[in-house]
Structure 1
Amino acid sequence: MAGTQCAAAASPDGCLNNTHGAERAEVIAVAAKFPPEVIGVAAKFPLEEASVEVKFAILPIAGRMPGHMNVLLAEAGVPYEQIFDLEEINEEFSQADVALVIGANDVVHPVARTDKTSPICGMQILNADKAQNVIVIKRGKGAGYSGIENALFFEENCRLCCGSAQGAVAEMIGRIKALS
């Protein structure tokens, strides 16, 4: 891990500090009980108005059953053309200015690629850590189902915004609109 404590825990407003001028954003929406209203708010992120490409990345096995996240995103009004599975989007993270991770933990844990002794070694993950800036919104920096702390939270390019996803996303949208 890059440090001994979370690289930068910040308010929703503070999480956006390094993202001004972003041209490409990947939104990762992964959680078993992801509230549709949060996805709806994220889907309305005003980035496209500023010519920023927005894509939703999902792990096909995430949620309560395969395809669950596709259904939640569709119910929230996310256009199908903006939803991408792991195989379709993983290589694109290295070109993304911002990866917004909402409610995910193990599925964005870079140790799955690098540590052969890890219980999640070899697990499919979304390569969010490869984006220029990573914003993680979750209730806390606790361990995921694997029981291990997420190394992503210690990377210099990561900002952790702890709290309600719906509130954090709404606050970020307000900040983005104020900048426009």
Structure 2
Amino acid sequence: LILTKVMCDAMNRSLPAVLFGTLGPTADGPSADEVYKSVKSTSADEVAMLLEVATRVVIVPGYGMAVAQAQHAVRDLTNLLKSKGIEVEFGIHPVAGRMPGHMNVLLAEADIPYDLLKEMDEINSTMEQTDVCLVIGANDTVNPDARTNPSSPIAGMPIINADKARTCIVIKRSLSPGFA
């Protein structure tokens, strides 16, 4: 019950709204064609070049990272970047994953130092000084639609301001809409 309350608070929703609300398409939102025509595909080589010249990288993990069991690969990337003198931090959204603390547990399991994990409010204050924000399976927790579209199903949910970084790379399995 406590975890339920924490999740509801983090999503800026009441328990009845979560239990009885609907999460369907809205009439006022942009069409999928409008949204996806602005998507720019990239390659591993392009991302590597961006990371190589960065001085500060923020990684935002989500449920997609958990499903892919990519936390150890993320640790290896973190260690590589840090060995090159690049500052790396993790932006942890309170509802990323299946329960509060899910990302913290996965990253701890991968031996990522706890001092690199920053809560949403703390990381948001530094996003404008971030060269690259790497979002790994956490697209809903960084979606600016929550800030800008009052008819969005996630309207009003606090997000990590990944869009404020100089470059934002979202790693997502598909372009299909929906929640994790």
TM-score normalised by L of structure 1: 0.73
Deviation at 1:76, TM superposition (A): 0.9
Structure 1 segments unaligned to the other structure (5+ residues): 147-180
| Alignment match of 1:77 (pick from 88, 111, 121) | 111
Which residue does the alignment assign to 2:90? 56
Question: What does 1:23-172 correspond to in 2, within 5 Å?
Answer: 23-31=55-63, 34-35=66-67, 37-45=69-77, 46-145=80-179
Structure 2 segments unaligned to the other structure (5+ residues): 1-29
- State the identity as a percent: 42
Q: Which has the higher contact order (CA 8 A, sep 6+)?
A: 1
Question: What does 1:6-21 correspond to in 2, within 5 Å?
Answer: 6-21=38-53
**Partners of 1:143 and 1:16 in 2: how far apart?**
27
Which letter maps to 2:172?
K
C-alpha distance 32-100 of structure 1, shift in aligned 2 (>3 A): closer
**Higher radius of gyration, 1 or 2:** 2
Deviation at 1:110, TM superposition (A): 0.5
TM-score normalised by L of structure 2: 0.73
Which letter maps to 1:12?
A
Which letter maps to 2:72?
G
Which letter maps to 2:39?
A
Q: How many residues align?
A: 146
Query: 1 or 2, which has the higher helix percentage?
Result: 2
Secondary structure in structure 1 of the residue aligned to 2:105: helix
